[in-house]
């Protein structure tokens, strides 16, 4: 007797069903301006969002305001004239009875009360700013250590109150696109330890409008080009290398239009950072397109180098970093320091960007602060900083023109993650998101890795975000209880705020899974419990998870009208930069996916072959 594996719903489908349910409840009732319909957390992943629904006899504009705990903390937006009003509510407080004010164009006002229960989330332990400076903006920080239950991506207002959150296990950067929506990683993974299926376009309520699926998955960073296309940090061949590939994605179809492989641009060995390893040899953590020079800039943590290459040809233009230990034939790509005064090269940097005047702005983590092991600086004596370098690509000269963080010493030291942000000349943000101590001592071990290595009771993980205007600190926020990948100052409401009803789209492609040669192993009964096999049939793939001895020969068989065989890689690669800890590390825990694309419809019996023995999973899947 076989069991048919039931298909699990994609979050897009679950959100659509939730939307249809609240629309049905609203449209079947008699909900008016004075007595509207209210649905909390309508898209399932943001408890600090809601929708308010009502009808009016005539078309009218509506101003919605979430009343703050102080008048300066009010959040609101004026929506265009309509008769049916389905209005998104952003910026609710948790553990609080919120007041939502509705005001019609004719001046009539009504109020709705909405209590939100307390959420288990880390909060700002320090907030130093003023409403005059920070206004109605919020500071987003994306969780790097969601293995800690309270560490989730949040957004905090000027008073230190959390006004947005995401309950999903998601990380990487959160950016606002030109259309007002957020660009944020998918919640689904494709490969350990943290590679996700692609990038999502969603609104502040958490509603996903598009998920762009990439054959090589997504990590770290995305850049929206002027034409709307997305440059995404991705991978090409997980078994050979990772984090050395970038793709350009069509915004309407999800199709990959162009790609660049850094193995064709740089040497895999030479100039290696302290955390270099052969598999993750470059570790790209930033993608930036510069229109004036038609070039792409990337940040290689494991080379201590920011590189720039031509968009059309992929030809290397320059390398910014310490040239020590790089091969002789690459020395011509480096800059000569001409700074009069203090100057430091950056080490294991993050979030490199090109400013409007051509300067390079980045977060210098400073990890080890040396190319050779014998010259390494100890973490208690080290520093991290935001730094701006002025480069002359004709003379190949470099000058350090601004920095913040060196004067803070180890208290601002993050050996991984972090970012900087340029608002205007003299107006910058510096986010040190990966500060950690173990038994009171600063460490070079990454916070996400510390969670898997040491008793939590002895760990302190936190982030500090600073904004400076003409070198005066105007904003300072500390969040304890986790590390936070990047910070981003945004507004919850803007002139493009608009809830568009309907189901989100799955775009792009996962590709066709590579097949293995046909095998004929001896039947050995049911899958042994030691393998802890778990299977899930998703809308676009069949997901496996199981425990194997490293190096085991593992094959998945789909037996039907036509048989298919898939090899499961069981090689464990070195991970020297676990930027995100979604779960505890286990080298014997393997994940594998068979994409439904390319599989003809039909029914398949599923078998698992391990080291020459063929086990029957007992499951049937219907594609």
The answer, yes or no, to whether residue 454 has pLDDT greater than 80, is no
Instruction: Look at residue 189 and tell me if it is in a domain.
Output: no
CA–CA separation, 295 vs 310, rounded Å? 5
CA–CA separation, 366 vs 589, rounded Å? 33
Taking residues 272-297, what's their average pLDDT?
A: 97
Query: Which of 116, 147, 166 is where one domain is finished?
Result: 116
Q: If you search the block for the tokens 């309508």, which residue do you land on?
A: 42
The per-residue pLDDT for 616 is: 96
CA–CA separation, 288 vs 320, rounded Å? 15
Residue 283: burial class (beta carbons within 10 Å; 0-12, 13-18, 19+): buried
pTM for this predicted structure: 0.96
What DSSP designation does 103 have? Answer: E
The answer, yes or no, to whether residue 166 has pLDDT greater than 90, is yes
Average pLDDT, the chain: 96
Instruction: Look at residue 430 and tell me if it is in a domain.
Output: no
In SS3 terms, 400-448 reads as: EEEEECHHHHHHHCCCCCCEEEEEECCEEEEEEEEEEEECCEECCCCHH
Q: Considering only CA atoms, which of 328, 439, 442 is closest in space to residue 381?
A: 442
The per-residue pLDDT for 455 is: 65
CA–CA separation, 422 vs 412, rounded Å? 19
Instruction: Look at residue 16 and tell me if it is in a domain.
Output: yes
Taking residues 505-534, what's their average pLDDT?
A: 93
Which CA distances in Å does 51 have to 165, 253, 586? 16, 29, 41
Instruction: Assess contact for 522 and 606: CB atoms under 8 A.
Output: no
Q: Considering only CA atoms, which of 99, 42, 44 is closest in space to residue 69?
A: 99
Q: How confident is the model at residue 26 (pLDDT cuts 50, 70, 90)?
A: very high
Q: Considering only CA atoms, which of 96, 98, 50 is closest in space to residue 74?
A: 98
φ/ψ (deg, to 5) at 264: -95, -5
CATH of the domain at 618: 2.60.40
* Tally of domains within the chain: 2
Q: If you search the block for the tokens 């305001």, which residue do you land on?
A: 65
The answer, yes or no, to whether residue 521 has pLDDT greater than 90, is no
The per-residue pLDDT for 453 is: 73
The set of residues, in sequence order, having a beta carbon less than 8 Å from that of 618 and lying 6+ positions away, is 2, 3, 526
What DSSP designation does 302 have? Answer: G
The set of residues, in sequence order, having a beta carbon less than 8 Å from that of 501 and lying 6+ positions away, is 19, 23, 86
What DSSP designation does 304 have? Answer: T
CA–CA separation, 245 vs 225, rounded Å? 17
The pLDDT tens digits of the residues spanning 29-58 come to 999 999 999 999 999 999 999 999 999 999
Taking residues 7-16, what's their average pLDDT?
A: 97
Instruction: Look at residue 51 and tell me if it is in a domain.
Output: yes
Instruction: Look at residue 35 and tell me if it is in a domain.
Output: yes
3-state secondary structure of 547: strand
Instruction: Look at residue 89 and tell me if it is in a domain.
Output: yes
Taking residues 546-563, what's their average pLDDT?
A: 94
CA–CA separation, 582 vs 191, rounded Å? 12
The per-residue pLDDT for 122 is: 97
The pLDDT tens digits of the residues spanning 598-618 come to 887 889 999 999 999 999 999
Helices vs. strands in the chain: H and E counts, helices first:
3, 43
The answer, yes or no, to whether residue 457 has pLDDT greater than 80, is no
| Token pair of 145 as six digits | 């250590």
Instruction: Look at residue 241 and tell me if it is in a domain.
Output: no
Q: Maximum distance among all alpha carbons in the chain?
A: 79
CA–CA separation, 511 vs 596, rounded Å? 9
Q: How confident is the model at residue 170 (pLDDT cuts 50, 70, 90)?
A: confident
The set of residues, in sequence order, having a beta carbon less than 8 Å from that of 119 and lying 6+ positions away, is 47, 48, 94, 95, 162, 165
CA–CA separation, 609 vs 519, rounded Å? 9
CA–CA separation, 72 vs 296, rounded Å? 41
The answer, yes or no, to whether residue 585 has pLDDT greater than 80, is no
The set of residues, in sequence order, having a beta carbon less than 8 Å from that of 183 and lying 6+ positions away, is 173, 174, 175, 176, 177, 199, 200, 201, 222, 224, 230
Q: What Rg do the C-alpha atoms of the chain give, in angstroms?
A: 26
The per-residue pLDDT for 600 is: 79
Residue 268's CB is within 10 A of a number of other CB atoms, namely 14
CA–CA separation, 278 vs 346, rounded Å? 22
CATH of the domain at 58: 2.60.40.10
Taking residues 498-518, what's their average pLDDT?
A: 95
Query: Which of 116, 138, 165 is where one domain is finished?
Result: 116
Q: Considering only CA atoms, which of 508, 462, 570, 614 is closest in space to residue 122?
A: 462
Query: Which of 78, 95, 116 is where one domain is finished?
Result: 116
Q: Do you find a cis peptide bond into 193, omega within 30 degrees of 0?
A: yes
| Token pair of 535 as six digits | 């299977």
Percentage, residues of the chain above pLDDT 90: 91
The pLDDT tens digits of the residues spanning 392-447 come to 999 999 999 999 999 999 999 999 999 999 999 999 999 999 999 999 999 999 98
Q: What domain range is 19 assigned to? A: 8-116
- Pairing outcome for strands 208-218 and 505-508: parallel
* 57 CB-side CA count, 13 A: 2
Instruction: Look at residue 65 and tell me if it is in a domain.
Output: yes
The per-residue pLDDT for 576 is: 78
CA–CA separation, 208 vs 200, rounded Å? 7
CA–CA separation, 148 vs 563, rounded Å? 42
Taking residues 160-183, what's their average pLDDT?
A: 95
CA–CA separation, 64 vs 99, rounded Å? 11
Q: Considering only CA atoms, which of 169, 166, 39, 35 is closest in space to residue 501?
A: 39
Instruction: Assess contact for 20 and 12: CB atoms under 8 A.
Output: no
């Amino acid at each position: 007797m076989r069991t048919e594996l039931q298909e699990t719903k994609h979050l897009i489908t679950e959100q659509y069903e939730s939307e249809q349910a609240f629309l049905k409840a609203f449209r079947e009732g008699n909900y008016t301006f004075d007595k509207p319909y209210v649905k909390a957390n309508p898209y399932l992943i943001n408890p600090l969002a809601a929708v308010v629904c009502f009808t009016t006899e005539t078309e009218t504009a509506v101003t919605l305001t979430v009343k703050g705990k102080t008048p300066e903390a009010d959040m609101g937006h004026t929506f265009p004239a309509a008769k049916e009003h389905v209005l998104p509510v952003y910026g609710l407080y948790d553990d609080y009875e919120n007041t939502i004010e509705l005001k019609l164009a004719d001046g009539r006002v009504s109020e709705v009360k909405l209590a939100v229960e307390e959420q288990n989330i880390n909060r700002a332990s320090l907030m130093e700013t003023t409403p005059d400076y920070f206004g109605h903006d919020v500071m987003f920080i994306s969780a790097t250590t969601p293995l800690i239950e309270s560490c989730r991506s949040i957004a905090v207002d000027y008073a230190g109150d959390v006004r947005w959150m995401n309950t999903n296990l998601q990380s990487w950067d959160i950016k606002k696109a030109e259309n007002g929506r957020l660009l944020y990683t998918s919640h689904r993974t494709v490969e350990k330890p943290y590679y996700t299926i692609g990038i999502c376009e969603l609104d502040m309520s958490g509603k996903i409008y598009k998920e762009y699926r990439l054959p090589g998955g997504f990590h770290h960073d995305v850049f929206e080009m002027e034409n709307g296309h997305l440059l995404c940090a991705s991978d090409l061949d997980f078994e050979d290398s990772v984090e050395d590939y970038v793709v350009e994605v069509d915004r309407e179809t999800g199709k990959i239009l162009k790609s660049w492989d850094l193995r064709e641009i740089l040497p895999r060995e030479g100039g290696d950072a302290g955390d270099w390893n052969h598999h993750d040899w470059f570790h790209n953590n930033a993608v930036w397109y510069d229109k004036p020079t038609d070039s792409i800039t990337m940040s290689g943590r494991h080379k201590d180098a920011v590189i720039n290459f031509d968009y059309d040809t992929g030809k290397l233009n320059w390398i910014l970093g310490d040239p020590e230990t790089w091969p002789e034939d690459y020395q011509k790509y480096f800059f000569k320091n001409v700074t009069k005064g203090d100057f430091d090269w950056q080490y294991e940097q993050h979030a490199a960007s090109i400013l409007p005047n051509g300067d390079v702005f980045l977060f210098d983590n400073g990890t080890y602060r040396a190319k050779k092991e014998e010259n390494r600086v100890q973490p208690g004596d080290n520093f991290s900083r935001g730094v701006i370098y002025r480069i002359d690509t004709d003379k190949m000269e470099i000058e350090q023109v601004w920095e913040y963080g060196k004067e803070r010493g180890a208290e601002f030291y993050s050996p991984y993650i972090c970012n900087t942000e340029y608002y205007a000349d003299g107006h910058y943000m510096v986010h040190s998101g990966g500060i950690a101590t173990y038994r009171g001592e600063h460490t070079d071990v990454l916070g996400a890795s510390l969670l898997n290595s040491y008793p939590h009771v002895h760990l302190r993980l936190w982030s500090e975000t600073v904004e400076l205007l003409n070198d005066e600190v105007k904003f300072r926020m500390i969040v304890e209880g986790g590390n936070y990948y990047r910070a981003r100052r945004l507004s919850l409401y803007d002139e493009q705020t608009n809830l568009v009803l309907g189901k989100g789209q799955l775009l792009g492609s996962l590709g066709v899974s590579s097949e293995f040669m046909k095998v004929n192993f001896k039947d050995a009964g049911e899958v042994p419990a030691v393998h802890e096999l778990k299977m899930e049939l998703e809308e676009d793939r069949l997901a496996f998870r199981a425990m194997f001895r490293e190096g085991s020969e593992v094959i998945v068989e789909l037996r039907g009208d036509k048989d298919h065989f898939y090899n499961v890689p069981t090689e464990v690669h070195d991970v020297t930069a676990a930027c995100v800890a979604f779960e505890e590390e286990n080298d014997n825990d393997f994940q594998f996916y068979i994409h439904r694309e390319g599989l003809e419809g039909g029914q398949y019996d599923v078998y698992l072959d391990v080291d020459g023995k063929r086990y029957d999973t007992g499951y049937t899947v219907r594609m």
